[in-house]
Amino acid sequence: MKKRFLICFMAATFLLSGCGSLAGRHNIDSGFAYIESHDYDSAMESFTAAEEKGEDACLIHRGKGIVYVATGDYQAAADELMASLHADEGIVDDMDFDTNYYLAEAYYKLGEYNKAKEVYDAILGLRSKDGNAFYLRGVCELASGNHDGAYSDFTKAISLNAKDYSMIIMIYKSLNEYGYNDEAVNILQTAMDNGSAFMTNYEKGQISFYLGNNAEAQSYLEAARSERDQEKEPVILMLGQTGEKQGDYNYAISVYKTYLSENPASALIYNQLGMCQIKQGDYSAAIQSFQSGIDVGDQAYIKALRLNQITAYEYKGEFDTAKSLMDAYLQDYPSDEEAERENIFLSTR
d(CA 136, CA 103): 12
- Does 10 score more than 60 pLDDT? no
pLDDT value of position 345: 60
Indicate if 107 and 134 belong to the same structural domain.
Answer: no
* Residue 187: CATH number of its domain: 1.25.40
Indicate if 285 and 338 belong to the same structural domain.
Answer: yes
pLDDT value of position 15: 41
Indicate if 119 and 135 belong to the same structural domain.
Answer: no
Chain segment 39-70, per-residue pLDDT in tens: 999 999 999 999 999 999 999 999 999 999 99
Q: 172 phi and psi, to 5 degrees?
A: -55, -50
Q: At what angle do helices 131-143 and 147-160 cross, to 10 degrees?
A: 160
Indicate if 116 and 194 belong to the same structural domain.
Answer: no
Whether 348 is in a domain gets the answer: yes
Question: For all residues of the chain together, what is the average pLDDT?
Answer: 90
- Does 2 score more than 50 pLDDT? no
Q: Which residue has the higher pLDDT, 255 or 17?
A: 255
pLDDT value of position 14: 38
Percent of all residues in the chain with a pLDDT value above 70, rounded to a whole number: 89
d(CA 71, CA 299): 12
Q: What is the DSSP letter of 21?
A: -
pLDDT value of position 6: 39
Domain's final residue, options 123, 146, 181: 123
pLDDT value of position 16: 39
pLDDT value of position 89: 74
Indicate if 152 and 101 belong to the same structural domain.
Answer: no
Q: What's the Cα-to-Cα distance from 7 to each of 3, 62, 93, rounded to whole Å?
A: 6, 18, 16
pLDDT value of position 3: 35
Question: Cβ neighbours of residue 327 under 8 Å, at least 6 residues apart?
Answer: 343
- Tell me the three state secondary structure of residue 18: coil
Whether 258 is in a domain gets the answer: no
Reported as a pLDDT band with limits 50, 70 and 90, residue 7 is very low
- What's at 63, amino acid-wise? G
Whether 246 is in a domain gets the answer: no
Whether 235 is in a domain gets the answer: no
Indicate if 68 and 161 belong to the same structural domain.
Answer: no
Indicate if 92 and 193 belong to the same structural domain.
Answer: no
Whether 191 is in a domain gets the answer: yes
Domain's final residue, options 62, 92, 123: 123
Whether 232 is in a domain gets the answer: no
Q: What is the mean pLDDT of residues 72-88?
A: 94
- Does 308 score more than 50 pLDDT? yes
Domain with 192, as residue range(s), is 129-199
Chain segment 151-184, per-residue pLDDT in tens: 999 999 999 999 999 999 999 999 999 999 999 9
pLDDT value of position 238: 97
* Residue 318: CATH number of its domain: 1.25.40.10
Contact (CB, 8 A) for 149 and 138: yes
- Does 200 score more than 80 pLDDT? yes
Reported as a pLDDT band with limits 50, 70 and 90, residue 92 is confident
Three-state DSSP string of 185-196: HHHHHHHHHHHC
Question: Cβ neighbours of residue 169 under 8 Å, at least 6 residues apart?
Answer: 188, 206, 207, 210
Indicate if 33 and 96 belong to the same structural domain.
Answer: yes
Domain's final residue, options 90, 105, 123: 123
Reported as a pLDDT band with limits 50, 70 and 90, residue 336 is confident
pLDDT value of position 154: 98
- Does 251 score more than 50 pLDDT? yes
Indicate if 13 and 98 belong to the same structural domain.
Answer: yes
Indicate if 139 and 60 belong to the same structural domain.
Answer: no
- Does 262 score more than 50 pLDDT? yes
d(CA 27, CA 217): 47
Number of structural domains, the chain?
A: 3
How many residues are recorded in the chain? 349
Q: Which of 208, 154, 206, 216 is nearest to 180 (CA)?
A: 154
Q: Which residue has the higher pLDDT, 277 or 341?
A: 277
d(CA 308, CA 316): 12
Whether 142 is in a domain gets the answer: yes
Q: Which CB contacts under 8 angstroms, 24+ apart, belong to 167-176?
A: 167/131, 167/132, 167/135, 168/207, 169/206, 169/207, 169/210, 170/135, 171/135, 171/138, 172/210, 173/210, 174/138, 174/139, 174/142, 174/150, 175/142, 175/150, 175/151
Q: What is the mean pLDDT of residues 288-301?
A: 95
pLDDT value of position 24: 67
pLDDT value of position 8: 35
d(CA 94, CA 150): 26
Whether 86 is in a domain gets the answer: yes
Indicate if 106 and 1 belong to the same structural domain.
Answer: yes
- Does 104 score more than 80 pLDDT? yes
Question: 120-159 burial, b if ≥16 CB within 10 A, otherwise e?
Answer: bebbbeeeeebbbbbbbbbbbbbbbebbebbbebbebbbe
- Does 91 score more than 90 pLDDT? no
Residue 323 CA, distance from chain mean position? 29
Indicate if 72 and 155 belong to the same structural domain.
Answer: no
Chain segment 107-155, per-residue pLDDT in tens: 999 999 999 999 999 999 999 999 999 999 999 999 999 999 999 999 9
